[in-house]
Amino acid sequence: MGSPNPKSQLMHLREGMQGNFDTVRFMRRVAHESAGDPAVQRLARLIVNQVPSHQYLEESRAIGEWVQSHMRYAMDPTGYEQLQEPQLMICDIEQGIGAGDCDDMALLTATLLLCLGHNPCFRVVRYTGRTGPFSHIYVVDYTRNGDAEPERLVIDCIIKDQPIGYEVPHASGQELEV
């Protein structure tokens, strides 16, 4: 599916917040490049196929639920940031071995949403009692159905015991455009 050689990038990033922002910049670039892949676009359409037309909030929820149910959480190697291209994650999911950490799941989620015309954000957060760089990333989508006011939908796919829309309380965070 997709590019002939989907990759996983193992990077040693700068320390602290600069490393966080390096990761988000890389994720943003990969998401936009991968959203143009016809196979990734087909998967996005397949996931939302049962969602009625013009129900954009439900499209976002369907994408989040699909990623949440098809990927298991797996940590990166100690001291490195490993990011998987969406095409690689999709191939692994098709083989029943889909796994990744929060940035992998956020990247796949954002890419699938971009395929459908959504404008998701990456939300980086720092939990209570922690200082220094952000420690978690997930997707937030602001969308609306029809003429209704836009709604904020949190899509944090590493949380397996809560529905899409649940947001773990945190001390601080920032939303960055995909």
pLDDT tens, 70-118? 999 999 888 777 899 999 999 999 999 999 999 999 999 999 999 999 9
Return the SS3 of 173. strand
Integer angstrom CA distances of residue 78 from 41, 106, 131, 160 = 33, 20, 19, 23
Q: In whole angstroms, give the CA distance from residue 22 to residue 106.
A: 15
Backbone angles phi, psi at 35, to 5 degrees: -65, -20
Q: CA angle at residue 57 from 51 to 60, to 5 degrees?
A: 75
Note the pLDDT of residue 3. 45
How far apart are the C-alpha atoms of 137 and 176, rounded to whole Å?
10
Q: For residue 47, give the amino acid letter.
A: I
pTM: 0.91
Which tens digits make up the pLDDT trace of 5-36? 666 665 555 667 777 888 899 999 999 999 99
Q: Please, which pLDDT band fits residue 129 given cuts at 50, 70 and 90?
A: confident
pLDDT at residue 5 in the model: 63
